């Protein structure tokens, strides 16, 4: 069996797919979504296709090593996203070749079902904002029985904000706790927008509502700053969606800078690398909560690793990740969990007509260059 062709598609605003077709007729799907750099990742996949076509798709580790190590410059978000999507597609083919879900080839299930959390929050304390938040909460609880949610302060945050801005977020956080009660877990994503001092201040303001974790309180580049926040906050800190490969997480592990890590299967290096990162984290008693805020193929790939990793805690899940019209059958959430995949490969049947249709003109999805402070300086979002 050889790789015959590699195609790419842009069916949804935050969903870019790679399709690997073999000469035996088996097809594998992966996701190469990288917010802000759609043309770059498309070009990277095209370059890698020159190497892959004609090769055995089952030599996954060999191909991973070649793609990562053969060029003088290693890593980077463009290469690693392209490699991640290709790796997912190869594991999809491998599972289909042997007639088993991919996780069976990774060592078999370590659990019976996979816990997920949904995105939900109170965006505004105005009556209209609270009504919308209440409506979504009731829908999520009725439809999926979720017992964990993630929200965030939203908007732009400077090096420090006046008490009114901080107090409004703190009030929303405590109101969320009041609505869901003590049996539900609530986390917050600061999106790397804070300084260490501001992050510590806000974390102490919300500690009474017992957050499950705070994600990316500061940008991920400075591990010492991240550890400073962790050392001064009485609940778990998490990071990792923008870190790539084992080498990108190494300093986080060695300094034990956080309690939880959040590698993204479409950026960290695919299924192959996500499992390796998780295995190293186990040594440091860190649990993984894989990041996934894009499409259903990436989400499906994450589930394969979630199934086998002993130190898995919970999986991020956005609405589009469950299917988004691209899968013939959506993933079903029941009591805040998803049952282990049963179909071969990544566990889904894709609607190829939907997957292969063009979403249209690209629009910026996550880009600091489009957000500015009141003085005209660039802001993080």
Q: Is 321 exposed, middle or buried (0-12, 13-18, 19+ CB in 10 A)?
A: buried
Which of 63, 191, 287, 337 is flagged as catalytic? 191
Distance CA 234, CA 90 (A): 42
What DSSP letter does each residue of 83-138 carry, written as one string?
A: HHHHHHHHHHHHHHHHTSBHHHHTT--SSSEEEEEEE-----SSHHHHHHHHHHHH
Q: Which helix (H) or strand (E) holds 251?
A: helix 245-254
Q: Which helix (H) or strand (E) holds 151?
A: strand 148-151
Alpha-carbon radius of gyration of the chain: 21
Is residue 191 part of the annotated active site? The answer reads: yes
Tell me how far apart the terminal alpha carbons of the chain are, to the nearest angstrom.
46
**Distances from the Cα of 209 to the Cαs of 157, 162, 174, 229, 374, in angstroms?**
22, 22, 6, 18, 32
Which of 63, 287, 291, 337 is flagged as catalytic? 291
Instruction: Assess contact for 30 and 17: CB atoms under 8 A.
Output: yes
Mode of pairing for the β-strands spanning 287-288 and 3-12: unpaired
Question: So which residues are the catalytic ones?
Answer: 191, 291
């Amino acid at each position: 069996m050889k790789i015959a062709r590699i195609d790419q598609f842009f069916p949804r605003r935050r969903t870019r797919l790679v399709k690997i077709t073999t000469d035996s007729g088996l097809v594998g799907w992966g996701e190469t979504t990288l917010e802000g750099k759609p043309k770059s990742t498309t070009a990277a996949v095209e370059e890698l296709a020159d190497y892959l076509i004609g090769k055995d798709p089952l030599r996954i580790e060999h191909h991973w090593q070649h793609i990562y190590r053969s060029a003088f410059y290693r890593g980077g978000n463009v290469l690693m996203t392209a490699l991640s999507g290709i790796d997912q597609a190869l594991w999809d083919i491998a599972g289909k070749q042997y007639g088993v879900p991919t996780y069976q080839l990774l060592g078999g299930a370590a659990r019976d079902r996979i816990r997920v959390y949904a995105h939900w929050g109170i965006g505004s304390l105005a009556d209209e904002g609270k009504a919308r938040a209440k409506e979504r909460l009731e829908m999520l609880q009725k439809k999926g029985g979720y017992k964990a949610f993630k929200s965030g302060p939203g908007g732009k945050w400077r090096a420090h904000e006046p008490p009114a801005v901080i107090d409004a977020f703190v009030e929303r956080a405590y109101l969320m706790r009041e609505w869901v009660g003590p049996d539900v877990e609530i986390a917050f994503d600061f999106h790397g927008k804070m300084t260490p001092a501001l992050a510590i201040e806000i974390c102490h303001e919300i500690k009474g509502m017992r957050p499950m974790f705070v994600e990316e309180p500061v940008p991920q580049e400075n591990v010492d700053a991240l550890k400073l926040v962790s050392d001064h906050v009485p609940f778990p800190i998490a990071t990792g969606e923008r870190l790539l490969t084992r080498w990108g997480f190494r300093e986080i592990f060695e300094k034990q800078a956080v309690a939880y890590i959040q590698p993204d299967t479409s950026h960290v290096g695919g299924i192959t690398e996500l499992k390796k990162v998780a295995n190293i984290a186990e040594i440091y008693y860190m649990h993984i909560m894989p990041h996934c805020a894009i499409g259903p193929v990436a989400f499906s790939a994450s589930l394969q690793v979630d199934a086998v990793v002993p130190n898995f805690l919970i999986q991020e899940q956005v609405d589009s990740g469950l299917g988004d019209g691209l899968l013939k059958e959506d993933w079903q959430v029941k009591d805040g969990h998803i049952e282990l995949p049963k179909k071969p490969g990544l566990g889904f049947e894709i609607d190829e007509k939907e997957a292969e249709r063009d979403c249209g003109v690209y629009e910026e999805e996550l880009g600091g260059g489009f957000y500015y402070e009141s003085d005209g300086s660039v802001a993080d979002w």
